[in-house]
Structure 1
Amino acid sequence: MRVILPAGTTETALIDGISAAGAAPELMEHTPSADVEILAYGKPTAAPVTPVSPNGCPTPAAVTRAVREEVGFDVTVVDAGLTRSTAAPTVDLDVSPGADVREETAVPDAAAIFDRAHGYGSELPDEELLIGETVPGGTTTALGVLTALGEPAGVSSSLPENPIERKRRVVDEGLAASGLDAGACDGDPLAAIEAVGDPVQPTVMGIAAGALESGTEVTLAGGTQMVAVAALLRHGGIDAPLSIATTSFVAAEQGDRLEAACDRLDCDLVVTDPGFDERDHVAMARYCAGEAKEGVAMGGALSLVPDGRMAAVRDRLETVCARLGIEADGPAEESAATTGDPAEAAAEDDRGS
């Protein structure tokens, strides 16, 4: 199994109150780069931050890495608009970071990104793919494209309290700046991304479309951000079988809305409970309390764990956490957490679903 992880950034994450990572932008820009280094190497190597919240909740990359160490899968990272470089090997599709959705155009080259990503996806030799994402501000841009497409709009958050009304106001401002009403992009997904999306969206959409059209089975690994990608694919005329794999944390927050969205978009839904409530460890406790929930292909990776092996994954997560400076009762030392303002915590950064 191959996990493909497009990683990028959008200036939307810098909007006050939208992303908890926006308090120190010079650090937040490193979050996706750190995520992919954790997935590739088990810890950040070049990135100057370790994405751990002050409460001891690690980035979902730690969970995905734990699954990788225990179960094993191949990883390909795609640069989908990184602001900062990463030491992890990446596929370069010539994607630039996204603009603030409140500007007239958020992703001016959405169609060109899609075309390049489509070509890449169509040439992949794998029979099955899991496609994830890491992009701060991603649930707000997901709300943007869902609204522009006229889809019932609701997204999750990596914060325990979802600032959904603030996100809706931002999206309304973005649509107005683009001269669009809600639903104006029905059947025109690339126009929706161009107006109020982020560069990771056309990258994931293009890779998925190219792979599906070549006969590869595709699972979108994530929560409501991947619901948005599924909507983009369906509005783009891609009707091939498609699955969404997410965590029990997203499913608990979204309730029936998640199942209804997947039914509407004709997607199979896979929800995996990692059993974090069975351990007395701060990282797992914070997930159970509503932090992070999803991101960095976490739900898709967990879906790969065979029956009877989840306890071993939890053991491995404790090992990964220790490597990141998080002991069972909290971060081992201040330097283990993301430096700067406490709000800079990557596990609370609006990146995930």
Structure 2
Amino acid sequence: MSHRRSLARQFCEDSSSEDEKLMMAAIVAEEEEARLDAPRHGGSQPGRQSLQRDFAERFQNLHKDYFAENPTFKARMFRNRYRMHRPLFLRIASAIEAHDSYFSLRRNSAGVPGLHPYQKLTSVFRILAYGIAADLTDEYCRLAKSTALENLRRFVRAVIEVFGGQYLRSPNAEDTARLLAIGEQRGFPVEGHAPEVNYTINGHNYNTGYYLADGIYPQWATFVKTIPNPKGEKNKNFSQFQEACRKDVERAFGVLQARFAIVRGPARYWDPETLGEVMTACIILHNMIIEDERGNRVDYRYDNMGELVTPSHREAATLTQFLQAQSDIRDKQVHCQRQVDLVEHLWQIRGLM
């Protein structure tokens, strides 16, 4: 009997109050729950059924379904269920296995092979992609619930450690050039290296970047807002372009949720640290898929590919300069003039289509 329970019982014996008895019952219930939740060690438990999961046989089924030369489920089904094409999956599997020996094929003391790396990773991707409970992967992948949870935790950490440096890095010259070229093609020009920019719209020169925003934002020089209830074809055309481009960002998280259902479902059994790692790993995988599937419809050519963009961190030397910089950011006249110029610019683009 625990010391805490002994003190509570002695206290209750000295009192006939129902409150003290209820307190004692609560302590007993709490300790019993902790006992049931505590990890168990020491081998097999008497009366506990041991499952023969036939790892090798199940791997043969998995291999035939997805990894054979002529698999049962072709490339499209692989892409639907793993959320990526098979070459990218194999690249990730190879890197993860090399990084963490937990994902390697191991044998028990009798020489019987255990879970194949593809079984472990298939379990992970089923949980990430469909947001299912861990024990639902047991039937096909043959991972017990506890193994599936440990498997996922180790996987997301490995993804962050192996690929995080590349796919969560600051944008490089290639990334910046691609985004600027896309923005120019869609009618919102910005040239140079952010945040120092210089460009001309409708005959007017500008030297600040801007964010596409909706109506709740102030009329600052750093925002290009949509036009509520636009009148006339030019204004309607501008609003259509602006809202379409702005929603690209809003859709980005929607695509992430659609691709990995685990990020939109209830947290269930995850602790905050694991939740953060799951989210980070999903973002990394999402970026890898985007890179892998990016089309080559436009032949972008970049200079100094791979060099990180160095943002400007100029500080105002004096209070007067600082106040002037803040005033420039909040310049309503620049905000309104740029919107007028973009309306005309986009209308001209439409005329060329």
With structure 2 as the length reference, what TM-score do the two structures score? Answer: 0.25
- Higher strand proportion, which one? 1
More helix by share: 2
Bigger Rg over Cα = 2
